[in-house]
Amino acid sequence: MSTTPLSLILSRLQQLAAATGRPAAQLLAVSKTQPAASVAALAAQGQRAFGENYVQEALAKIAELADLSLEWHLIGHLQSNKAELAASHFDWVHSVDRDKLVDALARYRPAAATPLNVLIQVNIDDEHSKHGCTPSQVMPLAARIAAQPRLRLRGLMAIPAAHEDPQLSLPAFQAMAALQRQLQASYPQADTLSMGMSADYPQAVSAGATLVRVGSALFGARPGKTAPAPAHN
C-alpha cells in the first residue's frame, strides 16, 4: 500500500486512539481554496467529510461533487445573511456562536432534510480578533439549539491561539474538553469536540478532540494563501 498524507494522518489518529484508549478521532479534510478536483482525489482515497470556510466558495464545489455524496462541514465564521444558504447545503455548521444564528439556521433548514448538525464555537483564549462565544454562553446557547427540531446539537468547536510550540495549546484544549464534558452531562447527543489543525492535532486528540480539522497537512500548502481574503464569506 502506498503512503499518502491521508493514510499517514489516519494511522497517526489510530496510534493516538490506542494511546488514549478512546475511539479514533474523525478526520475532517479542510478543503478551503482547494479546487474540486483535489477534493475528488481525496474522496477517491476514501475520505468522506470535508470542511469549508466560505459559503460561496463551498457551494460551487458541493454542486460539482454532488454525485460523490460527501459530508460537508462549514467551519468558517457565518454571517446571518448567509444562514439560509448554509442551512440548505451543509450537513454540519461548526461556527454557531450567537442566538440570531441559531434562529436563522433553524428557520431555513429544509423540512425534507435531516436536522442540521450544529457545534457551538467557543472563543477559549478570549482573543478579541476571533469569533466564538464565551464559555459562560455555552449552556444558554445549547438550550436554544436543543429546542429547535431542525437543528441537532452535536458539541463544541474551538480555534485556540496558535503557538510555535503546539504543547502550549494543551491548556486551551483541556479547557475545551472540560466544557464539553459539562455540556454532554446535560445533552448526551453533544458527542463531538472539534479542535486541532495540521500543526497541533495530536495535542488536541490527547486532550479529547473527537474530530480534527486538517488542511495543509493533507493537501499541501493552500493555493492563493498569500492572496487577500475573499470578499464573500
Ligand X SMILES: *Cc1c(COP(=O)(O)O)cnc(C)c1O
What residues line the site for ligand X (CB under 6 A)?
30, 32, 53, 75-76, 159, 197-199, 213-217
Q: Name the residue nearer to ligand X (CB basis): 73 or 109.
A: 73
Cβ neighbours of residue 111 under 8 Å, at least 6 residues apart? 150
Distance CA 186, CA 36 (A): 39
25 contact partners, CB below 8 Å, separation of at least 6: 13, 16, 17, 196, 201, 204, 205, 209, 210, 211, 212
Q: Closest approach of Cβ 29 to ligand X, in Å?
A: 9
Between 179 and 197, CB nearer to ligand X: 197
- Which of 30, 176 has the CB closer to ligand X? 30
**Smallest gap from residue 30 Cβ to ligand X (A):** 4
CB of 220 to ligand X, least distance (A): 10
Whole-number minimum distance, CB 233 to ligand X, in Å?
A: 11
Provide the CA 20 distance to its chain's centre, in angstroms.
Answer: 22
* Helix (H/G/I), strand (E/B), else coil: 206: helix
Nearest to ligand X of 75, 138 (CB atom): 75
